[in-house]
Amino acid sequence: MTLIGIDTGGTFTDFVLWRAGEVRIHKVLSTPDAPERAILQGISELGLDPAGLRVVHGSTVATNAVLEGKGVRTLYVTNRGFSDVLSIGRQARADLYDLQPPPRCPPVPRELCVETGGRLAADGHWVEPLTESDLDHVRAEVERLAPEAVAINLLFSYLDDSAERALADALPDDLFVSRSSEVLPLIGEYERGITTWLNAWVGPIVARYLDRLGAGLPGARISVMQSSGEAVVADQIARHAARLLLSGPAGGLAGAAFVAASDGTARRLLSFDMGGTSTDVALIDGEPRLTTAGRIAGFPVALPMVDMHTIGAGGGSIAQVDAGGLLLVGPESAGAEPGPACYGRGGSSPTVTDANLVLGRLDPEGFLGGRMRLDVEAARSAVGHLAGELGLGVEEAALGILRIANEHMARALRVISVQRGLDPRDFVLTSFGGAGGLHVCALAEALGMRHALVPVHAGVLSALGMLAAPAGRTLTRTWLGRLDAMTDAEIESAFMTLIDAGRAELAEEGVSLDGMRVETSLDLRYRGQSHTLNRPWSSVDAAIEDFHRAHAVRYGHRLELSVELVNLRVRVRATAPLSRLPEAGHANPVAPNRWLQVHGCEAPVPVLARESLSGDGCVGPAVITDAVSTTWLAPGWIARRDGVGNLILELLPR
């Protein structure tokens, strides 16, 4: 079987090919206007025949459409009197003390909101049944407004979806329709409505993209990574675009957990994925954590997704001087076109990558394994213009760029750890992405951490994670009530309904059910609360006590109140296509490939190939290169290579 994992990033599109127990990696520059072009180019350069190829793909198409506000014309259908729900939201201000926040356009213009009957009460009884007149009205509005997609969100539709189904059946077959009872059958009309609208808003864009990709890869079996870290075949995910909003980052976390456990030990990781445009930080405690409180472009997305924090700092982040004379780095990025100045593709703005090159931490002859030569003079020229504005030397300006970028990332890592009551020193800092290894030592020191990990194939780890992610489904159901009034048998029966549905979907996809893993959990809260904590299921009594403990850990107290069940959650996962990494083989220590003059180091610094490192390792400073990434081993650090090729970094006692 030939497997290929593909991750489409803002600057590069990454490929990891697995065939006959061997791994082959590849990179091409991304083509943001048509992401499938870079994918087809890479597969062609790898000499692969699409027929029989199994592709697992992390896509940014849905994410970019939301971030750029480029969804399709979408009609929003809801109950009478509730067309303003998406505009009102939770009435929460982004900045609590800003008394004059900038106005924000409503998600759906008023002229694209259609009200109808079909309203349920909270107990499931009909308040206003859906009539034939209602259906005629909606059909007429669709014909008059000519939308490309329709989002249907009726109150309490998770209790009875018959009205939403009737509305969907009344619409033209060629119209993209999203029902809230299918997209997110949970309590909370605002979050359910926003998620349903997002699904419809970008759904046609995702569907067209997947059609083009499928046409370019005839005979290939194409799966796509979901935000929850499970793969699903392309023809099933096309109608569930909202599940792809963190598709690529989910692959990175799956890859980090996979390689970190390659020695049989599931490490606690504090990860940062630094690409060309952004950096994603997350906690991995054995497996990536999931959340249902994620946000994209300010919109809440209540679907399960990997729990991460993203900032606009990457290798392509542009440095500039603001009106007050201060140095800024990001969030604007040079992207793939034209890219950093040192790429020689017409870019002239100084970026983080240019700063690393100016300081000597990148080998201009060995970038991407020597397949791409970096232009040192172009980088110095770009940083030099900035240095002139700041009244600094070129190296000092480059060092300032890196310090600011590092502080942005350190702050993000504190958000995901310190601000949650966790000590970063209890974790291993794990860096990946094309630019991560250049900053790992500085970030570890900023957080007081002494141990770090740069995984094998770190520059394409998200693509590797696509192959380590199993096919699976995450299903949910709202079931409100006091937990102590329910029996174990009732909850087990409800779980089995969800489990059977998940297994049926996977079987329809052609996935083997052998070795399938099932995880069940509950969303719980004290009666009167609005937020929940997700806890694993074992029994009613155990879940109640576990919730009390978890609440005390999270909030510092427990209450003598009844515990309320809100949602049931089931995660069904098959066996991952890639179960192990090949052994790296014994190192053959060789002399440095080159010597670089690195700013701040008196003597020239060796450039070492990762595969030349032995168990004894090397002591920094050193520049460690491989085919897809570079690691800057700062003075005072030692790097060793483990059995599969991971770099294990440790700060020596001082």
Is residue 266 over pLDDT 60?
A: no
What pTM did the predictor assign? 0.83
Sign of the CA dihedral running 64, 67, 69, 72: positive
Phi, psi for 311 (deg, rounded to 5): -130, 160
Q: Is the dihedral of CA 353, 356, 359, 363 positive or negative?
A: negative
Q: Give the confidence band of 64 by pLDDT, cuts at 50, 70, 90.
A: confident
Residue 618 to residue 627: CA distance in whole angstroms: 19
Q: Are 447 and 414 in contact (CB under 8 A)?
A: yes
Q: HSE on the CB side for 153, CA within 13 Å? A: 29
Q: How far, in Å, CA of 604 to CA of 585, rounded?
A: 29
Task: Select the highest-mean-pLDDT range: 270-284, 503-517, 545-559.
Answer: 545-559
More confident residue, 422 or 584: 422
Q: How much is the pLDDT for 25?
A: 87
Query: 16: closest CA among 582, 641, 611?
Result: 582
Tell me the DSSP string of 338-368.
T--GGG-SS--S-BHHHHHHHTT-S-TTTGG
Residue 367: the pLDDT is 79
Closest among 545, 541, 536 to 570, alpha carbons compared: 536
Rg of the chain taking only CA atoms, in angstroms: 26
Please state, for a pLDDT cut of 90, what percent of the chain lies above it. Answer: 49
Task: Please say whether the beta carbons of 27 and 9 come within 8 A.
Answer: no
In three-state secondary structure terms, 439 is coil
Indicate if the pLDDT at residue 332 is higher than 90. no
Sign of CA dihedral 156, 161, 163, 169: positive
Q: 587 falls in which pLDDT band (50, 70, 90)? A: low
CB 194 within 8 A of CB 86: yes
Q: What is the pLDDT of residues 616-650, one digit of tens each?
A: 788 989 999 888 889 999 999 999 988 888 899 99
Q: Is 215 within 8 Å of 293 (Cβ atoms)?
A: no
**pLDDT, position 336:** 65
Q: Could you tell me the CA-to-CA distances from 321 to 54, 146, 340, 400 in Å, in that order?
A: 47, 46, 17, 12
Query: Cα 47 to the chain's mean position, in Å?
Result: 29
What is the pLDDT of the chain when averaged over all its residues? 88
pLDDT tens digits, one per residue of 142-193: 999 999 999 999 999 999 999 999 999 999 999 999 999 999 998 889 999 9
Instruction: Give the Cα-Cα-Cα angle 141, 147, 148 (nearest 5 degrees).
Output: 145
pLDDT digits (tens, 9 = 90+) for 7-45: 987 778 889 998 877 888 888 888 888 899 999 999 999
More confident residue, 515 or 567: 567
Write out pLDDT tens, residues 285-319.
878 888 888 888 788 888 888 888 888 788 888 99
Q: What are phi and psi of 553, to 5 degrees?
A: -70, -45
SS3 219: coil
* Helices 162-169 and 132-145, packing angle to 10 deg: 50
Show contacts of 136-139: CB within 8 Å, 24+ apart. Answer: 138/77, 138/114, 138/167, 138/170, 138/171, 139/170, 139/171
Q: Identify the pLDDT of residue 247.
A: 85
Q: What 3-state class would DSSP assign to 77?
A: strand
Query: Cα–Cα distance between 304 and 344 in angstroms, integer?
Result: 41
The backbone torsions φ and ψ at residue 72, rounded to the nearest 5 degrees and listed phi first, read: -90, 170
Q: Flag whether pLDDT at 615 surpasses 70.
A: no
Least confident of 111-125, 276-290, 370-384, 437-451: 276-290
Coil, strand or helix at 591: coil
